[in-house]
Chain A
Amino acid sequence: GQQVMQIPQYQHVQEGEDFTTYCNSSTTLSNIQWYKQRPGGHPVFLIQLVKSGEVKKQKRLTFQFGEAKKNSSLHITATQTTDVGTYFCAGLSGAGSYQLTFGKGTKLSVIP
């Protein structure tokens, strides 16, 4: 079955440093989504990428979808303490699939 690998599992950064998490799928994806889960909370949708090579930005967050549509990344510039949480990628494998496969997430800690 489809697998989505996400690295690193944990990341500790000093406030103001950049942060990147990477997602890799075993199969070609029709789209990929990113979610953030704050400690004690539930996943919250951040963005969806659909096109090969797509890049989207949300303020300090930059999302990329690989050319082969098998990998993706989330980059945060100049982290803040409000960025703390676990970031998940989730891939949708193809037409007719109604199942999102989640990566195990990257837990981000920001040291003030």
Chain B
Amino acid sequence: KAGVTQTPRYLIKTRGQQVTLSCSPISGHRSVSWYQQTPGQGLQFLFEYFSETQRNKGNFPGRFSGRQFSNSRSEMNVSTLELGDSALYLCASSFRQGIGYEQYFGPGTRLTVT
């Protein structure tokens, strides 16, 4: 099976702009989670989607939003970019089994805000 893919891999944006990142999960996986990774804060949960529904949201401002399509592909959008949004954005997909689920991460999108 092909792994999780994320596009673009690298992105440079200016403060105030908006950005959309894309994630294609492993075929058959219906859950997609998004994380922000920075050296100081580590891996922080943004939100999780399952069957096009956002089931959980982390502690991020409303500038961060996401959606999931019927084919399980997901996008996240960040509006009015700030310098502090520079980070590696990782998406992870999973096939729910039991009470927990292992997550398969994509390579990430490295966002730099100048």
> Contact residues of B with A, CB < 8 Å?
31, 33, 35, 41-45, 48, 50, 55-56, 58-59, 90, 92, 98-100, 102-108
Contact = CB atoms under 8 A, between A and B. Distances in A.
B108 A42 contact: yes
Nearest to B50: A98
B99 A50 contact: yes
Contacts of A102: 35, 42-45
B100 A104 contact: no
A30 B103 contact: no
B105 A43 contact: yes
20 contacts: A1-B59, A30-B99, A31-B100, A33-B103, A35-B105, A42-B108, A43-B92, A43-B103, A43-B105, A48-B102, A50-B99, A92-B99, A95-B99, A102-B35, A102-B42, A102-B43, A102-B45, A103-B42, A104-B42, A105-B42
A45 B103 contact: yes
